[in-house]
Structure 1
Amino acid sequence: MAAGILSVGLHLIGREALSLVALAVAGSLWLLLGAEFTARLAGDRGRFRADADTPAGLTAVAATTVIGCRVSELGRQDASAALLVLAAVLWPGLTYHVVRHWRRRMPGVAFLVCVATQGLAVLAAVLAAALRLPWLDRAALAAFCLGLLLYVLALAHFDLREVAGGAGDHWVAGGALSLCALTAAKLTASPVWTGPVHTALRTAALATLALSLAWYAVLLAAEVRHPRTHYDVRRWATVFPLGMTATACLAAAQPTGIGWLRPLGTALLWIAVASCLLTLAALLSSRRARRPPPAR
């Protein structure tokens, strides 16, 4: 997910070579995880069900839609449509199992129900524009509204203590809103919506983007106040929201008519790239630290 959204953002600022490298990384990881997902489904149903009951299972949907959006930008609408169908098939069952196992106080991964749903919405909106299919725009709007509702429900279950003590996935609280803003921006750009609906979508894009930037400021301040310097795999769930917020700013600039969102998005994107590289360096360092010393 992190590499995929960075690929989309780098494409938006014209850094095609870097964007394709990030897409290659995202695609390779997606294939590896897809193979593991299939193997568990076929050979270890118990473990598969246990994984499907956790919010992290929805990364399968979210990652598929992110890659689908970037593939669409390459002009491969057939492959992008296939990824949309795959994500749409996975979404109902995984979402049902995740919501059924929600607890009163949840970490940031609770917001993945919103991320997965908005992922479907934004990919549908991207394909609707590329293939000129108005019915797909309407489906995207329905998924967008459902995603907003799921965000509110996830927020009601979110443990706010995670802001100060979370291991990285607490950033999804803001990243999910950024994805809502990205979806609303894509819908605003569609010629299908005019008059009051267009105005409402533009307002929704700006409102959710403003809220996501507020989350960004709060979460960044909490990181400074409560440093978490050790590596944790959930730090990759920080990179994705950083990249998503940047991409939402870049994508919203033109349809909303607010030009300064583009330089803001560009600056935030390079912060996300730096965060990705730092997280990768921390991963490699932690692996070296765990490596047993050579035998004498």
Structure 2
Amino acid sequence: MRRWITAFAGLLLGACSPNYAGPMTASSGHVVGASPYAYGAASPYGYGATPWSSPYGFNSGYGGANRFSPEKGLTCDRSRKICYDRYGVDYFETQKYLGSKSAKYGAKRYGEQVFIFAPQQGVVCDRRSQSCSDSGGLNATLTRKYFSKDDTRRVGAWTNADMFSPQAGVACNRTTRICSDNGGPNVNLTTLYLGQQAGLDLANQQNQPAPLAVPANAPDTQDPVPTAASELVDLPQSLAASAENEVLPPHTLDPVPETQVLLPDPLPAVEPVVEPTQVVEPVSAPEPVFVPEPGPAMAPEPAPEPAPAVTQEPAPAAVCEGENCP
């Protein structure tokens, strides 16, 4: 009898709370009306699941530590009731490791930021649909970068379908370029799944403000959304704060005993040897040498003309005297 009462109470709790469907799987991508992820469908990540359904609840596993890392790149903090990775708070990981009550607390405190994150400029990703979009809408390549191959195939099917349901309670019509939820056409959802221009057109039709890259309907909080990178900064600050608050008793240091330092005996002073200074006599400057100025060049004298040749006349014949003369 007690077992039936407990089961009936669990059904009442599940029926009175809204559902947030968990991450999509590879079997999704059906048109509206045929998707197993329609709003209110049964899901292991249902928003109204009992808080004791998680095997990682409070004071169970990991030695009951307030902060632990169940997976690489994921940190869970029991005192803050959240699990987060490098991109921010993750609703589904919080539900998995800390239970549904902690997940609902994070959704109430941080709003859409537990589902949506912006890993780089101009890119928005949604943990509910496990898809990423840019200014043109859904992008399979970006989805593969931040999720998995199965998610890439599912997003590729959505981009080729006229109507698709990217998450529970949301229907998108590519022909009319409008995405709607339970409240009717939604500018932010249209921007997220069909692109910036489709969201802007819908905003103009409904006289609403221009769409935002990330829906900003999260409640104002004093604490920013934690990320794994910010915890590296928070930890030294918390240690410094605890050190400032701690009052240490006065402590006097023991005097250091004086030690006698043995110095070597001083060496006898050595008189310096002064060498006589050599006086260098100044060298007299050399007397200037008189160089006579060159005179005008003398022209050579002409050679004397040769004397005229003297013609010798023949000597006169001797006068013959005597008998032999002719």
Shorter-normalised TM range: under 0.3
The normalised TM-score by structure 2 is 0.25
Higher-helix-fraction structure? 1
The normalised TM-score by structure 1 is 0.27
Tell me which structure has the larger Cα radius of gyration.
2
